[in-house]
Amino acid sequence: MMSDTMTGTTSGLGVVTSTASFVTEVLGKTKRRIELMDQREALQAYLLSKVRAGDWHAVQDAGSDIREIDARLDELGRS
């Protein structure tokens, strides 16, 4: 067994592997959140431009897309 200098515990390589997996998972979720927030921001700008243009069908579509993104963001926040 090896001493883990970061936590002060004695452990095998399994801890390193599980820590790496955890970090990879967190980074993946963070990247996905950023992508979704960028999409949401773009859709909000699009929605506002369609409100100004009076294109109510496009406003409705963009609103639905934003709700779907919000639901995905909520899911990521719970996991």
Closest Cα to residue 79, out of 26, 21, 15, 19? 26
What is the CB neighbour count within 10 angstroms for residue 79?
Answer: 7
Structural domain range at position 58: 2-78
Q: Read off the pTM.
A: 0.71
Q: Count up the domains in the chain and report the number.
A: 1
37 has pLDDT over 70: yes
What is the CB neighbour count within 10 angstroms for residue 12?
Answer: 10
Q: Give me the pLDDT at residue 12, please.
A: 59
Q: Give me the pLDDT at residue 8, please.
A: 52
> Span 12-28, mean pLDDT?
82
Round the average pLDDT of the chain to a whole number and report it.
Answer: 86
> Span 24-43, mean pLDDT?
95
Q: Give me the pLDDT at residue 79, please.
A: 66
